[in-house]
Structures are given as structure tokens and as C-alpha cells.
């Protein structure tokens, strides 16, 4: 079933909830998984993909540094085996954000693998004495509308402090707009500079795993300092977000950037090299260490 962009965003929390309560076994005994990647024609076969998932511990104690053994299966045939580091979710509610429950969602894991052909795969994950499965569907690249690593990124005239281009407010970060609204993505790309392009709405976090991604990016860029020519752009997914109304506001309109990129979810971060080619795309939550790794690949 096709989901409109608004329905996809609104139902993200419901998807996580169904993953928590959907198992028929004892909730106290079985760790559960929460898919943090879209099933709506986003994962491409034949190229490296990031497949993040969350763990609902259900009483199982996992140290912060826990790594899980993951096998990628195609019809019970193992096509990849890897150890995936756990990344702890640290998340504060933004003032005015919609209320949402965090249940026992404590950490996320970002699998990076290549699914060789279109079709259905399983992530087989060992957690303590339990083995749990998470299905993932890979599509032919021609079926995917969202830009993928290896694609050219479109030079978008994004909202800036000087020209909001019909978006108000251009940034819902508490305390005022962030520092990533001075140049458009098109201007940065025309200068031949690497680009980090983040779509996120801090005031309208709707799931436990949306995370403080804009704040994480701000901290990471500050850590880099002024010795890089990296350009950074933050865009809101909504053209007219009204803090306090939330995603149920019937008057919400999508920002032009979401339509141009074919996005049906947020947050999402694109990393674009000086030639305008996407070198990585990070969907949903990321932490400082994963951000630093991605920036290192972009600038390295």
C-alpha cells in the first residue's frame, strides 16, 4: 500500500509500537527489533546500504558497548556476516514537540551491507540467548525515487535567512535558527565544496528514534573547526510548521525540498562530494561517532 508522505511520518511511531507488542511470546523474555529504514522502495540492490534497527530490550541488560552478530540471509543462504556496534540513543524532548513514548528503546545498530539482487532478505540477529529476525526488501535501483549513493545530488535553492522561499520558520531548533541557513545547497555546490544536507524537524520529533540529529550535527561541525571548506545545509520538511500544533495540524504543507528529493520520511542526511555526487545517505538517527565516520569519508 502506498503511503502519502504525511501518513508515513505520522505512522512511524505506530510501526515501532507494533514491533514492540507484536510478538506472541512473553514480552519480558523476548528482545524485539524496530526497523529504522523505510520499506517503501528505499533500499536498493547491488550497492552498499545502511540498514539501521533499534532494540527493545524487554529487561535484557546490554552494556553500552554491546556489538551484535548479524547474518544477512537470502532464502536461508548466508550472504554476509558481521559484528555491528551498538550506539546508545540519547534523546531529550524539544520544547513544544509532540509527546511520544520511548518504551524500552535504548540503542540502535546500523548494518552496512550489499544486498546483491532485488528481493526479500532477512537480518538474523543474535541478542543474548535469543535469535531474532528482521526482514528487508531490496528493490531495483530504477524503482527508487529517492537519491542514492552514486547519484548526482540536485542543486536545490534551499531556504536561507535572506530568502525563506515560502518556508516559515526555516528552522525549528529551540532558541532560534541554526547556523546552517546562510547559503543554499545550490550555492555551495556551485563553489565546488563538499556538502552535508540534513532534512530534519527538531520541534516535531514524532518517534523515539528521530533523535537529536540536528544538535548532533551542530556538535560535530563545531568539532571540525574552521579548517575545512565543508558546506552544511539544514532544511525543514514542512513549509509552515506551527510549534504546538504537531503533525496532526491539517494545514501542514510539505517544503519544496521534500518534493524535489522524493522523500517520504525524515530525518535523512545526504553527504555530497565536491563533484556533486552523493557518497553516503544516513536515514533516521545517527550518533556522534557515526557522524564522524561519515564526515571522514566525505572529506578524506
CA 229 – CA 298 distance, rounded (Å): 12
pLDDT score recorded for residue 57 = 62
Q: Poorest-confidence range of 58-67, 136-145, 210-219, 284-293?
A: 58-67
Higher pLDDT, 6 or 189: 189
Q: Which helix (H) or strand (E) holds 127?
A: strand 119-127
Class for domain 5-143, per CATH? Answer: mainly beta
The CATH number that domain 185-299 falls under is 3.40.30.10
Instruction: Tell me how far apart the terminal alpha carbons of the chain are, to the nearest angstrom.
Output: 41
Q: Between 245 and 67, name the one with better pLDDT.
A: 67
Q: Please give the C-alpha separations between residue 90 and each of 28, 107, 212, 253, 283, in angstroms, as whole numbers.
A: 23, 9, 8, 30, 17
DSSP 8-class letter at 143: G
* Other beta carbons less than 10 A from residue 63's beta carbon: 9
What CA–CA distance (Å, rounded) separates 148 from 151?
6
Domain-wise residue ranges, the chain: 5-143, 185-299
3-state SS track over 2-54: CCCHHHHHHHHHHHHHHHHHCCCCCCCCCCEEEECCCCCCCCECCCEEEEEEE
CB-based contacts of 140-144 (< 8 A; 24+ apart in sequence): 140/44, 140/45, 141/44, 141/45, 141/46, 141/47, 143/41, 143/118, 144/41, 144/42, 144/44
Q: What's the rounded Cα separation, in Å, for the pair 67 and 79? A: 19
Q: Please, what sign has the CA dihedral across residues 37, 216, 261, 151?
A: negative
List C-alpha distances in Å: 211 to 90, 164, 247.
Answer: 7, 25, 16
What φ, ψ does residue 263 adopt, rounded to 5°? Answer: -80, 140
Interhelix angle for 213-224 vs 288-299, to 10°?
50
Identify the weakest region by mean pLDDT among 84-98, 106-120, 184-198, 251-265.
Answer: 84-98
Do 298 and 276 touch, CB atoms closer than 8 A?
A: no
Of residues 216 and 30, more confidently modeled: 216
Per-residue pLDDT tens over the stretch 258-296: 888 998 888 999 999 999 999 999 998 898 889 999 999
Q: What is the pTM of this model?
A: 0.84
Q: How many residues does the chain have?
A: 300
pLDDT at 59: 62
Residue 159 pLDDT: 95
Check residue 225 and give left, alpha or beta (phi > 0: left; psi -120 to 50: alpha). left
Is the Cβ–Cβ distance between 44 and 139 less than 8 Å?
A: yes
| pLDDT of res. 24 | 39
Q: Are the C-beta atoms of residues 91 and 102 closer than 8 Å to each other?
A: yes
Angle at CA 131, nearest 5°, toward 125 and 132? 65
46-50, 209-213, 219-223: which range is least confident on average?
209-213
Amino acid at each position: 500500500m502506498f503511503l502519502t508522505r504525511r501518513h508515513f511520518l505520522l505512522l512511524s511511531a505506530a510501526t515501532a509500537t507494533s514491533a514492540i507488542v507484536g510478538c506472541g511470546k512473553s514480552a519480558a523474555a523476548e528482545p524485539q527489533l524496530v526497523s529504522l529504514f523505510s520499506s517503501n522502495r528505499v533500499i536498493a540492490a547491488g550497492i552498499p546500504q545502511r540498514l539501521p534497527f533499534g532494540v527493545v530490550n524487554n529487561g535484557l541488560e546490554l552494556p553500552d558497548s554491546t556489538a551484535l552478530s548479524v547474518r544477512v540471509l537470502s532464502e536461508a543462504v548466508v550472504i554476509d556476516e558481521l559484528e555491528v556496534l551498538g550506539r546508545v540513543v540519547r534523546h531529550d524532548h524539544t520544547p513544544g514537540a509532540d509527546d511520544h513514548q520511548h518504551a524500552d528503546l535504548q540503542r540502535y545498530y546500523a548494518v552496512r551491507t550489499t544486498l546483491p539482487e532485488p528481493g526479500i532478505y532477512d537480518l538474523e540477529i543474535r541478542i543474548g540467548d535469543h535469535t531474532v529476525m528482521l526482514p528487508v526488501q531490496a528493490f531495483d535501483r530504477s524503482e527508487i525515487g529517492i537519491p542514492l549513493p552514486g547519484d548526482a545530488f540536485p542543486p536545490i535553492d534551499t531556504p536561507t535567512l535572506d530568502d525563506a522561499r515560502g518556508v516559515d520558520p526555516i528552522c525549528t531548533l529551540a532558541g532560534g535558527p541554526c547556523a546552517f541557513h546562510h547559503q543554499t545547497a545550490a550555492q555551495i555546490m556551485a563553489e565546488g565544496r563538499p556538502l552535508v544536507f540534513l532534512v530534519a524537524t527538531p520541534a516535531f520529533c514524532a518517534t523515539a528514534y528521530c533523535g537529536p540529529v540536528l544538535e548532533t550535527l551542530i556538535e560535530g561541525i563545531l568539532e571540525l573547526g574552521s579548517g575545512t571548506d565543508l558546506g552544511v545545509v539544514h532544511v525543514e520538511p514542512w513549509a509552515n510548521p506551527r510549534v504546538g500544533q504537531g503533525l496532526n495540524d491539517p494545514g501542514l504543507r510539505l517544503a519544496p525540498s521534500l518534493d524535489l528529493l522524493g522523500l517520504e520520511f525524515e530525518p535523512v542526511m545526504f553527504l555530497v562530494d565536491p563533484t556533486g555526487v552523493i557518497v553516503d545517505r544516513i536515514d533516521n538517527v545517527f550518533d556522534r561517532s557515526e557522524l564522524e565516520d561519515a564526515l571522514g569519508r566525505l572529506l578524506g
